[in-house]
Amino acid sequence: MHVTALRRDADGPLFDAGEHRLKLQVLADDVVRLVYTAGDEIPDPESPMVVEQDPDGEWALVEREREFELVTDALRVELDRETGALTWRDADGDLLVREPDEGGKSLVPVSPEDLTVGDHEVATPRESLDREAYSTRLDLEFDDSEAILGLGQHEGGVADYSGEGQTLYQGNTKVAMPAILSTGGYGMLWNTGSLTTFHDDQHGSYVWTECDDALDVFVVAGDPDEVIAGFRDLTGEATMLPKWSYGYVQSKERYEMGEELVEVVDEYRDREVPIDCVVQDWQYWPDTEDHHPNFEEWGGPAGDWGQWGQKSFHEGRYPDPSATMDALHERNVRLMVSIWPNMLAGENYDEMSDAGHILDDEDVPAPGNEQRYYNAFSEEARDIYWNQAKEGLFDHGVDAWWCDSTEPYDPTWTLPTAPDPFALAKHTTDAFKRVFDPGYLNTYSLHQAKGMYEGQRATTDDKRVINLTRSGYPGQQRYGAITWSGDIEATWDRYRTQIADGLQFTAAGNPKWTLDVGAFFVGDGPSWITDGDFDDGVDDLGYRELYVRWFQYGAFLPMFRSHGTDTPREMWRFGEPGDRTYDTLVKFDRLRYRLLPYLYSLAGWETHRDYTMYRHLALAFPDDEDAHDVGDQFMFGPSLLVCPVTEPMYYGPDSEELSGKAEAREVYLPEGTDWYDFWTGERYVGGQTILADAPLEKLPLFVKAGSVVPMGPQIQHTGEKPDAAWELRVYPGRDGEFDAYEDAGDGYDYEDGDYAFTPIRWDDSADELTVAEREGSFPELVDERDFEVVVVGEGRGTGVELADPDATLEYDGSEASVDVER
């Protein structure tokens, strides 16, 4: 390859690279797009993933004897004239990442049509499959000291992808996100919808995509938060979810009638246990005379599942859906309803089929293919789907969507035993390729989320869109979607690995992730994917212990939601007041609600500042190499270090008592700061591993010195006591700050500037707390609020309960300060 400069466009230089063209498109000073193509034209960056871009970076091109150098204020990109190898450096010239000396870009022609499986009509967002396409490969050389994060949610609990490999495709419990974030000061996002593999293993160090128009990669320079901000600039802002969605969400498989939903909420209210949402899982729809076949051969249940996918309520079990919604809303609780992309029978199926938007998927391996999926790649089909959901559910007052099975195919059910990862990848992606354009097989969920978001936004701006979905892709955060990890099983190992799996998802740029607290499958079911350890469910003391630990962890996720099958999930099913398990569940539920001012501020930062609340330690402490491979701890916002207990201490399955287990776990405290034990106030120096006390009632939880953590009153729902005083817990040892965020809690007026930040500052040397002038306003704003300042120390300002304040500051929106004696 010999590279010559072809022309200098306004957005960056174009090079001739023999049979190919190479474009370095400067989208911003810290974002440069690499396009390597066999065509003469450079495709626009916009795609289902990438929003419209307006390149505005300043750049210069320096020509030397052996290389070209593209220079911006944040990046220096060297291009070898002889080999075409690219080297990426920061503004100071320090190496970020590079291709091998001989170059690392390759394109191999492929036919999208030939990559499909079987003889089917294939769904595509393009005009046809008849186009030039390529499998692409980009070889890279990583530094031994950097951690590689991202790639989405994959099973295994990998904390650092250095030295690892991963196949990116969609599946139940697997979410593809073609992005990496390095602690070395950069990130890379592939503009693809194709099957993708990442390698830093025995095969080499490279990223391969199966079917694309070109090799198309965005390189973003900066620290981890700046890289994620760059990813969001490319794929869209994370929308605000409604404030109530940050409260407790009670779900199970399943509530069977409308009055049962109200009864469950009444029980929570009677017990004074906080709750904000109850969930209606599947089979609320009408019955059908057509029964599913017996699925014993693949391990699933037999029986009548009704008009699966019909988006309307059964008239007998939900005789007045609007009245049910009213009853829930009167109790300050919302309803989330499960909807599916597949349709078995009924009016929804008939309408979609008559319009020609049911996919040609009859012989795709899946459990009983009377379920047929709609073509979410079609705008017309998405409009029909939304109108069905609106007329059958939303118009009755339904508040939130649970879009299940949005991969959408889950052929794992058809396998009798667990296959090896490569066989499973082929089995799953072959199913997708029967009906999807291979260039877009990972993007169904993105299109589905788009349809729900645009449909609801066109209907009303009074309710924020919230869509709990089982799959995800970069860009989905702009559609009000939050991904949950799928149908996981109740084992200690699965619980442990979920922590890192979720952290890798958020490191890829989408901050909205959660899981089924307690796991979906609890007992040992008939299929390999339903293999939990606790056949007796809530009656098994071993499961109660696991559930409590999972619940403690869930209290620090973007959505706090219990869900699953095989056994009940309401808190009183695990005991009564005075029982260790019940009391601990209630304690952590109440802690979640006390932290609401902190938590909702983090949500505001995610939208307005491209923040991420569920944070890998390497994202928060990129220079601390000892933090890079910690996969069972995380930062919740800037202040809280959460350390879930991931091993049993008291009971195994079948209530078998364990002996010799210490009520403690090892905790790594990142370097560069001191840490406070949230429960005792004891102070520790960072950069060390300690043995933290961890009986069942206690999740090891530490707070970074210099933190200001706002906490609210004890409440029963997120809308209660809006004008109550906030407790400001100050953790001394260094100066601190926190910008509290508030808005109306629902609706989209925040897009027009209706929100406020309240800057809170702690001067450690002066023992002075200052609340600066409020920035912004909105009609529902509480103009005056008391702040009760508590300086934390050993035995003071600890735990869930309210503390006696060291000082009280009366705030009316103008700057005010208070001296604190300690």
Q: How far apart are the C-alpha atoms of 201 and 100, rounded to whole Å?
A: 16
pLDDT at 366: 59
Q: Has 404 been annotated as catalytic?
A: yes
In this prediction, residue 299 carries a pLDDT of 38
Environment class of 577 (CB within 10 Å of its CB; exposed 0-12, middle 13-18, buried 19+)? exposed
What per-residue string of b and e applies to 736-761 under the rule 16 or more CB within 10 Å gives b? bebbbbbbbbbbbbbeeebbbbbebb
pLDDT attached to residue 1: 79
CB atoms near residue 370 (< 10 Å) = 18
Q: Which of 487, 566, 610, 806 is catalytic?
A: 487
Mean pLDDT by 10 residues, the chain (822 residues): 92 96 98 97 96 97 97 98 98 98 97 93 92 98 98 97 98 98 99 98 98 98 99 99 99 96 99 99 83 40 72 95 98 98 89 94 63 92 99 99 95 81 92 94 98 99 98 99 98 99 99 99 88 97 99 99 98 98 99 99 99 98 98 99 99 97 98 99 99 99 99 99 99 98 99 99 98 99 98 98 97 98 84
The DSSP bridge pattern shows strands 755-763 and 736-742 to be antiparallel
Burial of residue 778, with CB atoms counted within 10 A of its CB: 0-12 exposed, 13-18 middle, 19 or more buried: middle
Give the pair of three-digit tokens for residue 198.
């990442």
Give whole-number Cα distances, 755 to 605, 746, 779, 814, in Å. 12, 11, 9, 16
CA distances from 128 to 112, 213, 442 (A): 9, 13, 18
Give the 3-state DSSP-derived string for 108-174, with helices as H, strands as E and coil as C.
Answer: EEECHHHHCCCCCCCECCCCCCCCCEEEEEEECECCCCCCEEEEEECCCCCCCCCCCEEEECCECCE
Quick check: is 407 catalytic? Answer: yes
Residues 53, 30: Cα–Cα separation, whole Å: 14
Query: Residue 446 is encoded by which pair of tokens?
Result: 């993105």
Positive or negative: CA dihedral 207, 209, 214, 220: negative
Q: Which residue type is seen at 56? A: D
How far from 528 is each of 414, 531, 787, CA to CA, in Å?
A: 10, 6, 53
272: left (phi over 0), alpha (psi -120 to 50) or beta: left
- CA nearest neighbour of 602 among 614, 590, 618, 592: 614
Domain ranges of the chain: 3-235, 245-597
**Long-range pairs for 80-86: beta carbons < 8 A, 24 or more residues apart:** 80/3, 81/2, 81/3, 81/4, 82/1, 82/2, 82/3, 83/1, 84/1, 84/3, 84/17, 84/22, 86/34
User: What is the per-residue pLDDT for 509?
Assistant: 98
Q: Distance (Å, rounded) from C-alpha 593 to C-alpha 80? A: 56
Alpha-carbon torsion 413, 419, 420, 426, what sign? negative
CA distances from 361 to 303, 307, 374, 458, 766 (A): 22, 18, 10, 31, 69
60-98 burial: b if 16+ Cβ within 10 Å, else e: ebeeeeebbebbbebbbbbbbbebbbbbbbbeeeeebbb
Cα(477)–Cα(540) distance, integer angstroms: 38
Dig out the tokens for 236 from the structure: 């869209």
Predicted pLDDT at 48? 97
H-helix or E-strand spanning residue 505: helix 492-507
Out of 253, 407, 501, 677, which one is annotated catalytic?
407
Question: The whole model's pTM is what?
Answer: 0.97
Report the CATH superfamily, name and number, of domain 3-235: glycosyl hydrolase (family 31) (2.60.40.1760)
Nearby residues of 184 by Cβ (< 8 Å), 6 or more positions away? 96, 97, 142, 143, 145, 146
Alpha carbon distance 747, 241 (integer Å)? 9
- The angle at the Cα of 621, spanning 181 to 626, to the nearest 5 degrees, equals 100
C-alpha span between 12 and 373 (Å, rounded): 43
- Residue 344: per-residue pLDDT: 78
d(CA 357, CA 804): 62
Would you say 153 and 501 are in contact if contact means Cβ atoms under 8 Å apart? yes
Q: Which residue, among 502, 447, 505, has the nearest Cα to 476 in the 3D structure?
A: 447
The residue assigned the tokens 């079911």 is 525
Instruction: Estimate the share of the chain in helix, then strand, then coil, as percent rounded to the nearest 5.
Output: 25, 30, 45
**Domain at 245-597, CATH class:** alpha beta
Please, what is the end-to-end C-alpha distance for the chain in angstroms? 70
Give the Cβ contact number of residue 289 at 10 Å: 6
Joined tokens for residue 161: 């992808």
Give the span between the Cα atoms of 359 and 120, in whole angstroms.
9
Distance (Å, whole) CA 315 – CA 257 = 10
- What crossing angle do the helices spanning 580-594 and 596-608 adopt, rounded to 10°? 50
8 phi/psi in degrees, rounded to 5: -115, 105
From the list 404, 501, 533, 727, the catalytic residue is 404
Let me know if 293 is exposed, middle or buried by CB neighbors in 10 A (0-12, 13-18, 19+). exposed
